[in-house]
Amino acid sequence: MKRLSIFVALFILATPLFSIEVGGHITEDTIWSPENNPYLVIDDVYVDENVTLTILPGTIVKFNAAPLYNSSCIDDYFVYYNGTNVAKMLWVDGRVSANGTENEPITFTRMQDSLYYHWGIVYLREQAELSSFKYCDFEYSALMLIVLGIIPRGAISIYNESVIVVNCNFIDNLCGVFIDRPTQNIIIKNNLFYNIENLPPNVMYSTGGIDISASPHGESSSILIAENIFNETIANYAPLIIAGAPADVVNNQFYEGGICAWMDSEAASYFYDNRFINCNTGIDGDGPTDSLYIKKNHFVNGYDGVDINYAYIEISDNYFEGCTLYTGPHCSGRVYNNFVNGGRIRTPGYLEVFNNISTNSVGTGLIVSSMGSYFNNNSSINNSYAIGSSGIIHYNNCIIIGNNELTEHSIIGSFYFRNCILDFELPPECIDAGGNIWVDSLSADSLFVDFQNGDFHLIEGSLAIDAGFDTTGYYCPFDLDYNTRVGDGDEDGNAIIDIGPYEFASPQLGGICGTVYQTENGEPLDYVLLKINNQPGEFEFSDSAGYFEFRLPAGVYDIYASRVFYDDVIVEDIEVIEGDFTEVEIPMTTTLVGIDEQPFQPSEISDLNIYNYPNPVHSSTTISFTIPRDITEAELKIYNIKGQLVKQFLPEINNQTRVIDFVWNGKDDSGKPVCSGIYFYRLKVGDKVIDTKKCLVLR
């Protein structure tokens, strides 16, 4: 009796007072609730086809785990053999809706709180339906060998076509999200990927982040990876591996580990507005890769910001601080409008290289090694070595001054300098092709706005103004600031291209700007890929407010818009007048039909018949709408083209007031008149956005 009571006491101490053990097949729609916390997965859980498992906010799911010791990651508890394994998992043939909240996340973790113990995976098989994971915490997952050739190794292992993963934390997993097999619509947004200390030191394969091994599937859309933080402290591989389907990687932050992009795909991948901090390599394309477009990223410290060896590439508008821009000899494409401070621009291969600056490098500023390469309007300033090259190289309209030495190694080949500004004598191996300007070190201050502090814009009277080689036919129509090339900087009536990446006193290009919004609710749509005339290199992404902007020469253009879970849109025949912006709005309709993702339909309330008159607006306009009798709250907001709130109106509603007229005097909430342009007014009734209309203000 005494022994029994001791056993019972120990059992109570070791077991949660309120919990439910789960395992086996879920054959009908099921809800897991925090009232039963924690759910103890003592055997694999299977969500059968056409069945939905809904996990409510605050729910805790604990899986039976096993120790992970050997470097091969293959042992009896990681092998799914004869329908069983020791480290348990969630096997999904149907659908999972695991949508927590910021204050009540859903937790997936291990039962045994022991160092180096890991559970299996959430395995979304090919036939699984759209599943969503929002505000979930995933801890201590490993991998599972299902059959030979199928080794899902992410806390969320995606083998189906459509998944949403947003606002989740992935801590101490071998891999956070693993994607294999066909893909159609996958979004991974605003998640944290972080490894601290709970992976065994001898584990050979660990990313902790995202691994895309999926092969492209027909006309599959790109995977959207946006607003994530990759804080990798012990990963053996890059925290983001793209080795299959294309991806749109937008506005992420990478610390210590970057991206491996080794796609064998005809589709392009885009890397836009990301931050890479202290990464040994920010974007690494060491294997056979197709098209990579790298734009508006920041690379700070580390070694190589970009290191691409086999690809068609376009690298533009990036900032490198203390790291190198490198492209290998098997690359082709364009490298332009990049600023490299404290690193090198190394671009062997058949590339167009123009409008770049390399400064303050302890190595070589500009390096090229190929036959027949043209370097147009670049600058190598204040580096240890100015250039390092071999082959037949043409330097046109370049500024190469303030460097300690011309080159670190012997010059091999033929170097042609034409219309360059130089502060060194050309050695016999170099060829003076004419038009060069020689200066001394004291003349540098008279060339630029602030030579000492790295502002290399041309100053009035600079020798570089209207002194370039006429590259009509192959120069780019814009400079590093997207000012117009070519301008008449010295106002002598003869417009000639300037030397260097900046054009003096030249107007900025005009272009196209606007907002992308959702037709279902009028809300701005973020991270839409927009391409001019469907040219992959002429692209931008809409920002978090749905706003976008292209700088373009005068002409007529089409915009192609695409995003996961939305139908593609083409806006045709947009005219750009020189120096002006043409404003457009792009509506996009969702294809998403799934649990808790149904778009709200205005017909559920009624036709509110919202409009304004007059339109265009010169001084004031009346916005009119009708309120159904069962509605007691309404809100009207006015936004500018950038999605910024301008005016808010809260009408008083009573049983007698059904038709609301709001007179807008064209002023913002602070009483200041708004500028001319397109504005949107948006009606919200209760907790639903009903409709969005636009008006044009003309002053």
User: Is residue 451, in this structure, part of any structural domain at all?
Assistant: yes
User: Is residue 349, in this structure, part of any structural domain at all?
Assistant: yes
pLDDT at residue 288, as a whole number = 56
Run of H or E residues at 531: strand 529-532
Task: Note whether 58 and 143 are same-domain residues.
Answer: yes
Task: Note whether 520 and 498 are same-domain residues.
Answer: no
The Cα 319–Cα 365 span in angstroms is 15
Higher per-residue pLDDT: 148 or 416:
416
> pTM (2 decimals)?
0.81
The Cα 90–Cα 106 span in angstroms is 15
Task: Note whether 156 and 25 are same-domain residues.
Answer: yes
Higher per-residue pLDDT: 697 or 551:
551
Task: Note whether 579 and 619 are same-domain residues.
Answer: no
SS3 158: strand
Question: Per-residue pLDDT tens for 241-291?
Answer: 888 788 999 999 998 889 888 766 667 899 999 999 988 889 998 655 678
Of 114, 108, 69, nearest to 88 (Cα)? 108
If you compute the radius of gyration of the chain from its CA atoms, what whole number of angstroms results? 30
Residue ranges with strand state E in 240-377: 240-242, 247-250, 253-255, 259-261, 269-272, 275-277, 281-285, 291-295, 298-300, 304-308, 312-316, 319-321, 324-327, 332-336, 339-341, 345-346, 350-354, 357-359, 364-376
**78, amino acid identity:** F
| Residue 660: CATH number of its domain | 2.60.40.4070
Task: Note whether 496 and 514 are same-domain residues.
Answer: no
What domain count does the chain have? 4
Residue ranges with strand state E in 581-633: 581-588, 611-613, 621-626
Task: Note whether 375 and 418 are same-domain residues.
Answer: yes
The Cα 476–Cα 484 span in angstroms is 9
The Cα 680–Cα 638 span in angstroms is 6
Question: Per-residue pLDDT tens for 392-409?
Answer: 788 899 999 988 888 877
pLDDT at residue 12, as a whole number = 32
pLDDT at residue 694, as a whole number = 75
Q: Is the pLDDT of residue 500 over 50?
A: yes
Asked if 326 and 309 count as a contact pair (C-beta separation under 8 A), the reply is no
Percent of the chain with pLDDT over 90: 47
Task: Note whether 456 and 380 are same-domain residues.
Answer: yes
Question: Per-residue pLDDT tens for 78-107?
Answer: 666 666 778 899 999 999 999 999 889 999
User: Is residue 275, in this structure, part of any structural domain at all?
Assistant: no
Average pLDDT over residues 614-635: 76
pLDDT at residue 472, as a whole number = 61
Question: Per-residue pLDDT tens for 443-496?
Answer: 888 999 999 888 999 999 999 999 998 866 666 889 999 999 998 888 888 889
pLDDT at residue 489, as a whole number = 87
Residue 6: which residues within 8 A CB-CB, separation 6 or more? none
Question: Per-residue pLDDT tens for 281-329?
Answer: 899 986 556 789 999 999 999 888 999 988 889 999 999 999 999 888 8
Q: Is the pLDDT of residue 656 over 60?
A: no
- The residue whose two tokens read 């053996």 is 236
Task: Note whether 451 and 481 are same-domain residues.
Answer: yes
Higher per-residue pLDDT: 610 or 87:
87
Average pLDDT over residues 505-517: 94
User: Is residue 612, in this structure, part of any structural domain at all?
Assistant: yes
Task: Note whether 27 and 54 are same-domain residues.
Answer: yes
Mean pLDDT of all residues belonging to the chain: 84
User: Is residue 287, in this structure, part of any structural domain at all?
Assistant: no
Q: Which domain holds residue 197?
A: 18-245
Percent of the chain with pLDDT over 70: 83
Task: Note whether 693 and 636 are same-domain residues.
Answer: yes
Task: Note whether 43 and 177 are same-domain residues.
Answer: yes
Higher per-residue pLDDT: 311 or 625:
311
The Cα 59–Cα 107 span in angstroms is 6
User: Is residue 473, in this structure, part of any structural domain at all?
Assistant: yes
Q: Is the pLDDT of residue 654 over 70?
A: no
Domain boundary among 214, 245, 276: 245
Domain boundary among 220, 245, 270: 245
Task: Note whether 375 and 452 are same-domain residues.
Answer: yes
Q: Is the pLDDT of residue 14 over 50?
A: no
Residue 592's pLDDT band, with cuts at 50, 70 and 90, is confident
Domain boundary among 212, 228, 245: 245
User: Is residue 436, in this structure, part of any structural domain at all?
Assistant: yes
Question: Per-residue pLDDT tens for 190-245?
Answer: 999 988 766 666 666 677 899 998 765 445 578 999 999 998 655 557 899 888 78
User: Is residue 185, in this structure, part of any structural domain at all?
Assistant: yes
Q: Is the pLDDT of residue 129 over 80?
A: yes
Higher per-residue pLDDT: 613 or 74:
613
